[in-house]
A = this chain, B = another copy of it.
Amino acid sequence: MSNIFGKSFRITTWGESHGDAVGVIIDGCPPGIDLSVETIQEQLNRRRPAQSDISTQRKEADKAEILSGVFEGKTLGTPISICVWNSDAKSKDYEEMRSLYRPSHADYTYQAKYGIRNWKGGGRSSARETIGRVASGAVANLFIEKEYKTEILAYVKTISTINSNVEIKNLDSTSIESNIVRCPDQSAAKIMINAIKEARKSGDSLGGIIECVIRNCPIGLGEPVFDKLEADLSKAILSIPACKGFEIGSGFEGTRLKGSEHNDDFYMEGERVRTRTNNSGGIQGGISNGEDIIFRAAFKPTATIMKPQETVDSSGRSVEMKGRGRHDPCVLPRAVPIVESMVALTLADHAIRQRGQVGTT
């Protein structure tokens, strides 16, 4: 259960990493939106493995097919089914994984919960599951971009101990895509890339922090009290594999401020109510206030490493496990479109809900 995300713009993702295919169904996409498969493909390409020499080298075209819900180039309001066939599923690589629990992977917990698991390459817990998120996120993004001119931009803020220095107000997709690590601070990016290459060589992996800004979010999204916008964003982001933390606006650092320092004073900018500062991160009382929504997400280093590790097998024996095959030394560059997709899905869902709840006057 629970492969469904959203309440009004709902997606269902499906597929194991070494099954025939992975995909997604979108239920609740409004009709009449111009949608071509290229829009989806463009985002899948940003998530695709082997897109650069700092990502995993699994060879997958990740070519999207739209099987339903679009007619003569427009969405029908009916379910949009998008499918991507798996090609490079080297199950032999995984034969020894049949009974082994890889440290900090989901092998043990899946086995404990379900009593069975597809041990080939992580099965459902594989990052390939996120293909469905990115494909549907591209559609959600199309919707909110067209209806509200909302723009979602994520970038790699830190890798391991390497920080970058990026001004949110200058952020754009060109600068993010200007290098393979998706960090617009070029000098930091170089150091990051080297560090990732180093990690690859030593069979190790690195984590980091992704920062995301949402511009032109319509005022009034978010549903108090339980579906506050930051709560739903947080759930969306924490559902991404390897994510260990989420903070919005002033976040953890903001806890050190006093109320008089933290409060965002209001002023008028023409007809519009604005805030002088944005410690709230664009959301107040669970509802967007029209300022930039800014949050950060923490990603732990990937669990798959090429170094020997202590573990146990399904019969309860201690085993020394040796890494083998391919590994992804750092998922963050490829996680950028996943973060953006989860945001787009959350906003599309809330936008549709808000349209339904508009008040009587």
Contact = CB atoms under 8 A, between A and B. Distances in A.
Contacts of A39: none
A2 B227 contact: yes
Given A13-B225, A76-B124, A205 B259 contact: yes
A13 to B, nearest CB: 6
A353 to B, nearest CB: 6
A116 B359 contact: yes
A73 B130 CA distance: 25
B109 A5 contact: no
A206 B246 CA distance: 21
A262 B360 contact: no
Contacts of A287: 106, 109-110, 112-113
Contact of A259 (B20, B219, B223, B303): B303
Q: How many copies does the complex hold?
A: 4
A20 B68 contact: yes
Interface string A1-40: 1111101101011111001111101011011110000000
A251 to B, nearest CB: 4
Contacts of A7: 7
Q: Which of A31, A245, A284 has the most CB of B within 10 A?
A: A245
23 contacts: A1-B227, A15-B68, A15-B79, A22-B68, A76-B118, A103-B264, A103-B275, A104-B279, A104-B280, A110-B285, A113-B222, A125-B224, A125-B285, A158-B255, A160-B256, A234-B235, A235-B235, A244-B248, A245-B252, A247-B252, A249-B300, A252-B296, A356-B357
A173 interface: no
| Listed residue (A10, A123, A204, A234) with the most chain B CB atoms within 10 angstroms of its CB | A234
B13 A28 contact: no
Contact of A106 (B112, B204, B209, B285): B285
Interface string A218-260: 0110111111101110111011010111111111101111111
Given A2-B28, A116-B359, A268-B312, 15 more contacts: A32-B116, A71-B116, A74-B116, A76-B124, A79-B124, A104-B259, A125-B224, A225-B239, A234-B234, A244-B254, A245-B248, A257-B301, A260-B309, A263-B303, A355-B355
